[in-house]
Amino acid sequence: MITQQQKRNRRLIIGIFAMSIIPFGIAWYMAKHPDFFTRAPTNHGEFIKPIITTERSDFQGFDDFSKDNIKELSSHWLIVNVISKSECTEVCIDAIYKSRQLRLMLNKELVRTRRAVLVLDNTISQEKAATWWQAESDLLKLKPSVDIIDKLNALYNGSIPEGVLLLVDPLGNFMMRYAPDFNPYDAKSDLMHLLKISQIG
């Protein structure tokens, strides 16, 4: 029969063995996975690779409010919806609403961001478009340059879905994209991480 002393001795031997082998196991794992502790948290959106760069001149105000406030594009993170067709359907309108909810959820970080929509179709009139964002007093409506439209079309293989969400950094770089059915809470998680590590905006 094993005595209590023998049990204690056995546990002591197992503990000493574990203490000697575990560090070697950790060291081996770290050698195989050197980015383990620096790895970024799981992103809910997709990083845009390569990043789409822009210039301030790539955007013009779509209406008077946007023309008067276009300077707001500078030094802010942008939460951007894209109106890719001649109509902003229910999916498109819902995406604009969700982007507003996303910005409101940022709390004190809200001031570091601005919301915008890119109107890609030149046939859309201001009167028609006004019905799509009646309650959106802070929304910047922008007409992107042909170059930016071409880059976005290339990103989506020639067919930009309705309701997509894009995050743009204060330097004008398109950083992340989200599917039309994006979850505002997931996008908030990504954006808060970007705001936390960002030295600008």
Whether the predicted pLDDT of 167 surpasses 90: yes
Question: Does the structure show a pLDDT above 80 at 171?
Answer: yes
Rounded-to-integer distance, Cα 170 and Cα 53, Å: 11
* pLDDT for position 198: 79
> What is the three-class DSSP state of 12?
helix
CB distance 152 to 52 below 8 Å? yes
Of all residues in the chain, the percent with pLDDT exceeding 70 is: 78
C-alpha to C-alpha distance for 178 and 180, rounded to whole angstroms? 7
Whether the Cβ atoms of residue 33 and residue 167 lie closer than 8 Å to each other: no
Do 79 and 110 meet the contact criterion of CB atoms below 8 Å apart? no
The larger pLDDT score, comparing residue 201 to residue 58, is at 58
Torsion of CA 138, 70, 166, 36, to 10 degrees: -100
**How confident is the model at residue 95, as a pLDDT?**
95
Strands 165-168 and 59-61: unpaired
> What's the chain's average pLDDT?
85
Render 54-105 in DSSP notation, one character per residue: --GGGEEESSHHHHHTGGGGTTSEEEEEEE-SSS--HHHHHHHHHHHHHHHT
Coil, helix or strand for 118?
strand
pLDDT digits (tens, 9 = 90+) for 9-65: 676 676 565 555 655 555 555 555 555 444 445 578 999 998 999 998 999 999 999
Chain segment 49-80, per-residue pLDDT in tens = 989 999 989 999 999 999 999 999 988 999 99
Q: For 162-176, what is the mean pLDDT?
A: 93
Helix axes 184-197, 90-104, angle to 10 degrees: 40
CA distances from 25 to 21, 29, 107, 146 (A): 6, 6, 43, 55
Q: What's the gap between Cα 105 and its chain centre?
A: 14
Q: What is the mean pLDDT of residues 92-117?
A: 95
Q: What is the pLDDT of residue 44?
A: 86
